[in-house]
Amino acid sequence: MNLDAFLGLATVMGTVVAVVSIVSGTYRRRLAFMERKLEITAGGAAAEKAAQYATYNSELENRVRVLERIITDGGNGHDIALQIEALRDTGRISEVTTQ
């Protein structure tokens, strides 16, 4: 192998190394961007799910308050049964809480 062939091979290898490093750097940046995009998308979905749970939790707390009021106010068993049945119809929950 003569000096000209060696310098040509070194130039080609240097160019290949440079191109590979540029491509790998670009790929790493793109991968980081895609991960960040996924985190943002997942974060929005998690926030939406948390809001749904908060709403559901609030509804359950209201129902428990009504049940506690029904039980602590006393009354005969028939009245309590009617009030609990009224809770099953969501439109009548406000009637029970205002009585």
The answer to whether the predicted template modeling score (pTM) of the entire model surpasses 0.75 is no
Q: Nearest 5 degrees, angle CA 74-CA 67-CA 60? A: 170
Q: Is 75 left (phi over 0), alpha (psi -120 to 50) or beta?
A: left
pLDDT < 70 regions, the chain: 74-77, 90-99
d(CA 93, CA 71): 15
Question: What is residue 29's predicted lDDT score, i.e. its pLDDT?
Answer: 95
How many domains does the chain divide into?
A: 1
Domain of 45, in residue numbers = 3-98
Question: What is residue 24's predicted lDDT score, i.e. its pLDDT?
Answer: 95
